[in-house]
Amino acid sequence: MAKNLIIVESPAKVKTIKKFLGSGYMVQASVGHVRDLPRSSLSVDEANNFAPDYQVIEGKEKVVAALREAAAKAEHIYLAPDPDREGEAIAWHVAELIKDVSKADIQRIQFNEITAKAVKQALAEPRTLDRNLFDAQQARRILDRLVGYKLSPLLWKKVKRGISAGRVQSVALRLIVDREKERQAFVPEEYWPFHATLATGVPPQFRTELVKIDGKKAKVGSEKKAAEVEKRLKGQPFKVAGLEVKTREKTPPPPFTTSTLQQNANQRLGYTSKRTMNIAQKLYEGLDLGGELGLTALITYMRTDSVRISDEARQAAKDVITSTWGNDYYPAKARVYKSKGSAKNIQDAHEAIRPVDPAITPDRVKGEVTAEQYNLYRLIWNRFMASQMAGAKVEDTNVLAECAGTEWKAKGERVLFPGFLALTPQKDEDNEDLPPLKEGQALELVKLEKEQKFTQPPARYNEASLVKELEEKGIGRPSTYASIISTLQDRDYARLEEKSFTPTDLGVVVSEQLTEHFTQLMDVGFTAQMEDALDKVADGDQDWVALLNGFAAEFNPTLEKAAQAMKTVKGGMPAGVDCPDCGKPMQVKFGKAGPFLACSGYPECRCTRNFSRDASGAVQIEEKLPETAEVMGKCPQCGKDLHLKKSRTGSRFIACSGYPDCKHTAPFSTGVTCPKCGEGRMVEKSSRRGKIFYSCERYPNCDYAVWDFPVAEPCPDCGSPILVKKFTRGKNLLACPNKECKYKKSLDE
């Protein structure tokens, strides 16, 4: 019988760790958290030092029973959840649930990577549970519970039932809303950039940009001014007025942290933060790679703020670099990166995200993992290996051309030695390929270009830029970014449109109400200070109860004032437009299907409309289409016309015009037979976040679905019964939905 019990949090880790250890060890999983504050009540006794009422999570009774049974038989118990505050809390709660049935010494172990060496080393160096780390997690959990359970009911009364507020999510929402208001207030300014393509008689030609006129920064703000500049240049000679050549070294970026991984995966792979972390979790816990590798963990722990790596990892990288590219590609002095912030921070106790074994290249595992696992592993592997390679030596050339009192600039870059760029090439769009040049040299004007442009408002946040902003402002922790972003979308406070976040009307109202009445809570600086205070709790430099007392002393009175002062918008908000039927003011209301316009003259006037907002945020009433334009046949229940309508999230559906007397509805059918079951038709649906997809009408009996509009045409390459319509890079395509098949056909030709 096994004398040693190791408790991890993920079932996937059980298989990987069992591979390393003999029959003397049992390995079981807690399957995440086992105890938490119940949903049914606040479950925090504020009068008794914020004592939490933890209970076994519903559905985890069998898991807890199995852990207790195993603990009763073990002589040594090692708690091995993830090496962070959440992991420490899981270990703490497991210990509380098993200590009464076990006489064993319960100890904590942690490892940054799931390898035989790391696990065995952790077993050789167990420690006691860290009360400070647990208190830091506990304080965060209680803070979030106090805010969520006290603020949300207020929003139900004042705005809309069923919505929520969160200590960190609300501040993240404010960033999105404030950015949208900046865009709406933005006044564009006209400007005319000039470019001149010049030649020397020796290839290549090169493009320059106008930077100065009569020694001053070029500012061409009107068509008239642009015409004057063009006239001034006509027939005038260009020459090289200045030439500067410098050699510099480009250094590689550090290996990934949680935040930079999420940003890069979004920018390069198009993955959401949530998707990135889910894929990384599998790479960390271990995958079956077949052959001699078998069940193997590919990356180190993926929740970290650190860019530090171990000496062993550095040596392993060196071995691969020198054997693959040669000694010149390894720096004379090994690279050491320093993490930002306090080294005491628990997340910095780990290494950066890196491959467990650099010798396991992405191409080596390509056929054994999914496409998304391969893509993310390659991203992590390339970044880590590049971070340890020699810098690139480049020659920069800055050219200054002159013509009729105007100055023009061009930049060129020539790689003298690629270094890390051999692995991760970079393209600088601002750099031109330049011909040989010398000062005073005459230049031929090949083409002069001018273009009317207008300054653009600040860009909306996409996932990558929002994650970067959250990190820079100290809002939340990288491990929470994915859930923050997901919650904002799930609550319909923000939507991802063209890969950028746009606040909904509901999100704007909630943010404005909270910002007006909870100044401190919604302050970015205060939220960052709270994160620092939680770090101090983890370091043992701050009492968690005192921290909560200080927060409650400001929050509770503010909550009482807000309950009286916060205006209710349940009856509707002024829309700034008049009713098209009776002329009375329209109001924005929040219904179950989302915001809509309703006449303030109700019930005398029952006019309602959908609406949109223009670039300045002003309401634009959507015209009501003639009923005949949407007729889709006769209702099978009452015989009245069926109309084509659109749901709140964007998908089309069929509804009886006799509503509310007749409530017949049906999904919009594409007419294409499901290729999986061969029985149902493919119908149009939309996700909670407004993304259209097409699935079998027999769901859940058949779960086939595709993101693009299906067409009843077989694939000539793989025989798939259907193809799908795609619009990619400005082209309309007919493509095969099977990921393994690359068939595409243009619809534009």
Residue 730 has pLDDT above 80, yes or no: no
Mean pLDDT of 6-13: 92
Q: Where are the alpha helices (DSSP H) in 188-272?
A: 223-233, 258-264
| Domain residue limits, the chain | 4-129, 138-186+459-565, 190-248+397-410+431-454, 258-387, 573-624, 631-746
Cβ burial, residue 520 (10 Å; 0-12/13-18/19+):
middle
Measure Cα distances from 541 to 46, 537, 538 in Å: 22, 6, 8
Please state, rounded to an integer, the average pLDDT across all residues of the chain: 90
| Alpha carbon distance 423, 391 (integer Å) | 11
Least confident residue range of 154-168, 423-437, 603-617: 423-437
CATH number for the 138-186+459-565 domain, one of 1.10.600.10, 2.60.40.1510, 1.10.460.10, 3.40.50.2300?
Answer: 1.10.460.10
| Alpha carbon distance 117, 309 (integer Å) | 16
Which residue from 511, 408, 505, 397 is spatially nearest to 166, judged by alpha carbons? Answer: 511
Residue 608 has pLDDT above 80, yes or no: yes
Class of domain 4-129: alpha beta
| Alpha carbon distance 250, 419 (integer Å) | 9
Least confident residue range of 424-438, 505-519, 583-597, 667-681: 424-438
CATH number for the 258-387 domain, one of 3.90.1150.10, 1.10.1040.10, 1.10.290.10, 2.40.50.1020?
Answer: 1.10.290.10
Mean pLDDT of 339-359: 70
pLDDT of residue 1: 54
Which residue from 110, 14, 119, 108 is spatially nearest to 66, judged by alpha carbons? Answer: 14
pTM over 0.85: no
Superfamily of domain covering 190-248+397-410+431-454: Topoisomerase I, domain 3 (2.70.20.10)
Least confident residue range of 143-157, 470-484, 645-659: 645-659
Q: Within 10 Å of residue 10's Cβ, how many Cβ atoms? A: 20
Measure Cα distances from 29 to 46, 82, 107, 300, 321 in Å: 33, 12, 16, 19, 38
Pull the structure tokens for residue 708. 């693009």
Least confident residue range of 154-158, 554-558, 629-633: 629-633
Residues in the chain, total: 749
Where residue 718 falls among pLDDT bands split at 50, 70, 90? confident
Segment 200-253, tens digit of pLDDT? 989 999 999 999 999 999 999 999 999 999 999 999 999 999 999 999 999 999
Helix (H) or strand (E) holding 394: strand 392-403
pLDDT of residue 702: 86
Residue with tokens 């647990």: 134
DSSP codes, 164-195: ---TTHHHHHHHHHHHHHHHHH----EE--EE
Give the whole-number percent of the chain exceeding pLDDT 70: 95
Residue 342 has pLDDT above 60, yes or no: no
Residue 659 has pLDDT above 90, yes or no: no
Give the whole-number percent of the chain exceeding pLDDT 90: 69
Q: Just list the catalytic residues.
A: 301
